Amino acid sequence: MKKFLAIVLCTVMVFVLAACKGKDDEADYSFADGDQYDYIGGELNILNWGEYIDEELIKIFEEETGVSVKYVKMTSNEEMLIKLRSADCVYDLCFPSDYIIEQLIAADMLLPLDKEKIPNAKNIADRMIQFTEVFDPGNKYSLPYMWGTVGILYNTKMVTEPVDSWNILWNEEYAGKIWQYDSVRDAIAVSLLRLGYDINTRNADEVDKAKDELIKQIPLLKGLGTDNIRSSMINNKAALAVIYSGDAFACMDENEDLAYVVPKEGSNVWFDNVVIPKTAKNVEAAHAFINFINDANLATRNCEFIYYSTPNQGALDRLDPFFIESETFNPSDEILSRCSVFHDLGSFVEVFNNAWSEFKSAMGN
Amino acid sequence: MKRRVFAYPYIVWMILFIAVPMLFIFYYAVNVGGTFTLTKLWSTLSDPAKWKVLWISVVMAFKTTVICLLLGYPIAYILSNMKRTVAGFISVLFFVPMWMNFVLRTYAWQAILEYFLPGLLGMEGTLTGTEGAVLMVLVYNFLPFMIMPLYNTLAKIDKSLIEASRDLGANGVKTFFRVILPLSVPGIVSGITMVFIPAITAFTVPALIGNGKYNLYGNEIELAFKTLSGQGDYAVGSTLSIILLLCVFVSTLIMNHFDKDQKQGGQMW
């Protein structure tokens, strides 16, 4: 009897497994420009943020090129810097943010991109180039992968007054229902902007004032969050949150009471670009991968998966109006004109770090 | 002589994974960008905000330990008086959650306090992000570490001593305070050690349950490494780690002292 049961269970499991496999194989795709990839082989080590690519694309890339991809996730730019600085860095590709790229270029840690191997670079929208120009002139070392703004996500049922200023995050009416972002540059930028200062300020007094304002905000905060802000906002657990536009867009899709705004004082527009570290071993595969993800069809698909704004004009032409018509996903030039890119602060970053550490120490008192 | 050979792998292990990393911590505390300097060490040591966070952490760990002891002692005592088989079964129930990863359990509490309980009670807000919530989850996580040594000690107490005490006219309360409690001190001491030290170094719980609003010393160290390490600066984080190491060292010394006193006392009786 037991043997019989075991056989039945085994058979069921085999079928279940077979069914799963069948589903995976369904992936159908085509390249927008009929690209063909030669066999490259070897390994490609990618370092990227969590949930920041449609993993099906990796499988397609592996099939096309015979490269075996190792995809490692990171949670912060700082973590990535540590990995890239280490002597036995294995990564062939990674996706750092703007000001980190500036730092990496200055430290001579990146390989210039061979644009001839990336014909799909033509797909990058012109209006993006003017921003990336600021930290990587001529896109010599990097190509934009995803981008977005920083703004306020709010629940229209809980916040009935119009939201157009960072000031609302200091409004006592919403005490205990405000999420601040748990990141040095982002949180201090919010405070700097509210006071009318530049987010790339090199004036220690301004940073100090911004820090004092953040400390004043502590009693009003629900907390400091990153990814956890999403579920909290979707489930109506908080009224206001500092958030990246991509996350905001995904939240608004799940809860129709949510709205996103880039405040009138201005904000940060950020870019996560793809770069090849100097230590890369499979440079050929790295270039092929960059070209691959910039294919208009695949970029569209990737964007539909992760919901962050794409700099790829080809994808913008193909995406559903649901994406394109959203001011969150696709902000107007008017909104972007208020936003600026983070710069690497050089040694002045210490002033920011000290302010942040002082702010954190003031928590829980 | 031959037997000593079997200890070598452990000694190698200790040197590689305990002694060497500690030396690294000391090295990085006085080394910024490849040059020897005490400035970072000194500026960290003289920052009152950091000491304040340490004080908050010590108070939090103390509260956790006291609550764990008050909750854990009666449980261990009741268990020790049960039939061995029943007690074994019940203590397994206490330890089953520990088979799950600590971080996962904390995430589960986050969901309970954020969504489940407020929903059940019809509350509008949430229960996370308060000192009470952090304290409760710390107690939840460390309670088994208090019960385990207490139960072991209590179960080993010779029952004839209790009978003797009753025979000589002491009532239940007197027997407990004059016989059982003193005999269980070794269990209390190791329970306190096993709760206080992880509690003072806790950083997952305040981060997840406190919504990042309750910054304990562990979080302070994490912050120092995370924000500064991009610049290759480990001095501040290492200095903070050394201070915490010293705290742990001192509390272990105190606990050992109590333990030894008890053993000598036990022999005298």
Residue A28 lies in a domain: no
Q: Is the ipTM of this complex over 0.85?
A: no
User: Position of tokens 């969050």?
Assistant: A225
Residue A212 lies in a domain: yes
Residues A121 and A94 in one domain: yes
pLDDT at A23: 46
Of A184, A356, A363, the CB nearest to B213: A363
Cβ pair A143, A273 in contact under 8 A: yes
pLDDT tens digits, one per residue of B127-180: 888 889 999 999 999 999 999 899 999 988 988 998 899 899 888 899 989 899
On whether any CB of chain A is under 8 Å from the CB of B224, the answer is yes
- CA B173 to CA B167: how far, in whole Å? 14
pLDDT at A3: 65
Cβ pair A160, A208 in contact under 8 A: no
- CA A251 to CA A253: how far, in whole Å? 5
Cβ pair A142, A130 in contact under 8 A: no
Q: pLDDT at residue B191 above 80?
A: yes
* Residue A179 DSSP SS3: strand
Residues A344 and A304 in one domain: no
Residues A184 and A301 in one domain: no
Enter the DSSP assignment of A112: P
pLDDT at B266: 40
Residues A106 and A206 in one domain: no
E-strand spans in B153-221? none
pLDDT at A336: 93
Of A82, A176, A182, the CB nearest to B125: A176
Contact residues for B74 (Cβ-Cβ < 8 A; gap 6+): none
Residues A209 and A353 in one domain: yes
Q: Find, in chain B, the residue whose alpha carbon is nearest to that of A234.
A: B115
Residues A104 and A67 in one domain: yes
β partners of residue B31: B36
pLDDT at A25: 45
Q: pLDDT at residue B242 above 90?
A: yes
Residue A1 lies in a domain: no
pLDDT at A2: 59
Q: Which CATH number fits the domain that encloses residue A88?
A: 3.40.190.10
- CA A204 to CA B6: how far, in whole Å? 59
Residue A29 lies in a domain: no
Residue A23 lies in a domain: no
Nearest-neighbour CA in chain A from B165: distance (Å): 49
Residues A313 and A351 in one domain: no
Between residues B267 and A202, the one the model is more confident about: A202
On whether any CB of chain A is under 8 Å from the CB of B265, the answer is no
pLDDT at A298: 93
β partners of residue A225: A181
Cβ pair B201, B249 in contact under 8 A: no
Of B110, B215, B230, the CB nearest to A78: B230
B115–A357 C-beta distance less than 8 A: no
Nearest-neighbour CA in chain B from A7: distance (Å): 31
User: What are the counts of helices (DSSP H) followed by strands (DSSP E) for chain B?
Assistant: 15, 2
Look up the domain containing A106 and give its range.
43-145+272-331
Q: Are strands A258-261 and A142-155 parallel, antiparallel or unpaired?
A: antiparallel
- CA A47 to CA B233: how far, in whole Å? 23
Contact residues for A217 (Cβ-Cβ < 8 A; gap 6+): A169, A170, A178, A180, A191
Residues A235 and A89 in one domain: no
pLDDT at B214: 83
Residues A109 and A131 in one domain: yes
pLDDT tens digits, one per residue of B27-64: 988 887 778 888 888 888 888 888 989 999 999 999 99
On whether any CB of chain A is under 8 Å from the CB of B81, the answer is no
pLDDT tens digits, one per residue of A296-327: 999 999 999 999 999 999 999 999 999 999 98
pLDDT at B104: 92
Give pLDDT tens digits along chain A (365 positions): 556 666 666 666 666 555 554 444 445 788 888 788 889 889 999 999 988 999 999 999 999 999 999 999 987 787 888 888 887 788 999 999 999 999 899 989 999 999 999 999 999 998 888 889 889 999 999 999 999 999 999 999 999 999 999 999 999 999 989 999 988 889 999 999 999 999 999 999 999 999 999 999 999 999 998 888 999 999 998 999 999 999 999 999 999 999 999 999 999 999 999 999 999 999 999 999 999 999 999 999 999 999 999 999 999 999 999 999 998 999 999 999 999 999 988 889 889 988 998 898 888 66
All domains of chain B in start order, with CATH: 56-268 (1.10.3720.10)
Residue A6 lies in a domain: no
> In the structure encoding, which two tokens stand for residue B121, read together?
């009670």
Residues A292 and A357 in one domain: no
Cβ pair A42, A67 in contact under 8 A: yes
Residues A278 and A265 in one domain: no
B131–A184 C-beta distance less than 8 A: no
Residue A290 lies in a domain: yes
On whether any CB of chain B is under 8 Å from the CB of A353, the answer is yes
C-alpha B233: how far from chain center: 29
pLDDT at A337: 92
Of A223, A356, A361, the CB nearest to B227: A356
For CA atoms A281, A284, A285, A289, give the dihedral sign: positive
Find residues 75-114 of chain A whose CB sits inside 8 Å of chain B. 76-79, 81-82, 85, 100
The predicted model gives B106-120 an average pLDDT of 88
B214–A364 C-beta distance less than 8 A: yes
Residues of A in contact with B115 (CB under 8 A): 235, 237
Report how many domains make up chain A: 2
Residues A284 and A176 in one domain: no
Cβ pair B110, B206 in contact under 8 A: no
Residue A13 lies in a domain: no
Q: Find, in chain A, the residue whose alpha carbon is nearest to that of B51.
A: A361
- CA A361 to CA A359: how far, in whole Å? 5
pLDDT at B228: 67
B220–A225 C-beta distance less than 8 A: no
Q: pTM, whole model, 2 decimals?
A: 0.82
User: Position of tokens 């919010």?
Assistant: A190
Cβ pair B250, B242 in contact under 8 A: no
